[in-house]
Amino acid sequence: MLTKNQSQINLRSDAGLATALRVSLARLTRRLRRQAAAHSLTPTQFATLAAVERHSAITPGELAELEKVQPPSMTRVIAALEERGLVSRTPHPTDRRQVTVTVTEAAQKLLKEERRLKEAWLSQRLRELTAEERSILRQAAPILEKLSRI
Amino acid sequence: MLTKNQSQINLRSDAGLATALRVSLARLTRRLRRQAAAHSLTPTQFATLAAVERHSAITPGELAELEKVQPPSMTRVIAALEERGLVSRTPHPTDRRQVTVTVTEAAQKLLKEERRLKEAWLSQRLRELTAEERSILRQAAPILEKLSRI
DNA sequence: GCCCTATAGTTAGCAAAGGTAATGACTCAT
DNA sequence: ATGAGTCATTACCTTTGCTAACTATAGGGC
């Protein structure tokens, strides 16, 4: 009985668009999370490690703001990454309250491999779309990124 | 130091698109979840209740498949909804192993109000986009829905 | 120079929501 | 009529978010 059309959501209104996006995003994220479970880093850890790689010598507070989590949540993620030798915490050069986080060499290697694995599922799904659909998603990606960043 | 450009992700490749989507989706979902915390239903409960409303007399197993969760997770969500008088479980007409779930009247009223509240944040963000950006998201929404459904 | 407030990070404890494994009730084909 | 399969549930664990409270440090006003 799963064949009924599930979305008679009115996409014209902003509220309808919001509904459609919210529901799909939640489901997709759940799906991606599950896909990632087979690999060595959780999605949160992976996203954080990638952020540390992009902004080397970043502080936990800045990372928390970037990833839109509270500082204590970021503390835990960093602790997990440090325990696995993927990031190192060093004192901030001028402010001893702060800490700077950087990726290790091991992390760079792992990131490369993880990226390949972690994206496999979604990439495969993307390949199953038509070229036009992919093109729309390409245009949508930066907008979603912008929305996620507010 | 949050001003650096965070995404030099190559959107041309499927893997790059996959990366960009994955990161943004995770962050947006986190944000939406937090936004929802002020209201009376969790996002998962809300999504499930909405699904029950759309497919009345659906079984837990079908709901689990729809929402891409395992049956035990769905059992818990349904139990929470039943405890609050929002759904009722009745025996399946022909198969006594199964159960059919339907929304109550209270739920229909609540759904309407919740929808209004829960979409407020995202709608506001959508209004801050340009008309063209919204148009792209309108085109992207069904594709994301399709991706989330595979 | 000394306090007082503000800030950065962490710790402690809680809640939401997912998962797997095992169980009980029921169905159905052999 | 029995044994395998199916549906829902229960029990338990994990991840990952949160808030509140604590510690250490910074920095300004007196």
| Tens-digit pLDDT profile for residues A114-135 | 677 667 778 888 889 999 999 9
Mutation target vs A (from B9, B73, B147; most A CBs, 10 A cutoff): B147
**Residue A147 identity (one-letter amino acid):** L
- Within 8 A of B116 by CB-CB distance, chain A residues are 15
CA distances from B40 to A9, A70, A74 (A): 22, 22, 27
Dihedral angle computed from the Cα positions of residues B62, B63, B66 and B69, in that order, rounded to the nearest 10 degrees: -110
Complete DSSP assignment for B55-72: STTB-HHHHHHHHT--HH
pLDDT at B124: 84
- The pLDDT-based confidence of A44 (bands split at 50, 70, 90) is confident
Q: Taking residues B5-9, what's their average pLDDT?
A: 48
Mean pLDDT across B38-49: 78
Residues of B in contact with A145 (CB under 8 A): 7, 20, 23-24
Given a cut of 60, whether residue B8 has pLDDT beyond it is no
Domains of chain B: 41-118 (1.10.10.10)
Mean predicted confidence (pLDDT) in B109-136 = 83
Cβ <8 Å between A15 and B127: no
Indicate if the pLDDT at residue A12 is higher than 70.
Answer: no
pLDDT digits (tens, 9 = 90+) for B52-73: 998 989 999 999 999 889 999 9
Q: How confident is the model at residue A3 (pLDDT cuts 50, 70, 90)?
A: very low
Q: Which nucleotides of D are covered by protein (CB under 7 A)?
A: 5-12, 15-21, 24-27
Q: For the packed helices A131-149 and B14-36, what is the interaxial angle rounded to 10 degrees?
A: 40
B8 → chain A, closest CA residue:
A54
How many Cβ atoms sit within 10 Å of the Cβ of residue B97?
8
Closest residue in B to A131 (Cα–Cα): B14
User: Among B136, B120, B35, which residue's Cα sits nearest to residue A14?
Assistant: B120
Residue of B nearest to A13 (CA): B123
Residue A54, min C-alpha distance to chain B (Å): 7
Tell me what the mean pLDDT of segment A42-56 comes to. Answer: 87
**How do beta strands B87-91 and B99-103 pair?**
antiparallel
Single-letter code of the amino acid located at B110: L
What is the residue-wise DSSP string for B7-35?
A: ----TTSHHHHHHHHHHHHHHHHHHHHHH
Mutation site, A44, A116, A117, A119, interface B, largest B CB count within 10 A? A119
Contacts of A94 (CB under 8 A, 6+ apart): none
The number of C-beta contacts closer than 8 angstroms across A and B is: 204
| pLDDT of res. A133 | 95
Q: What is the DSSP string of B88-135?
A: EEEE-SS-TT-EEEEE-HHHHHHHHHHHHHHTHHHHHHHHTS-HHHHH
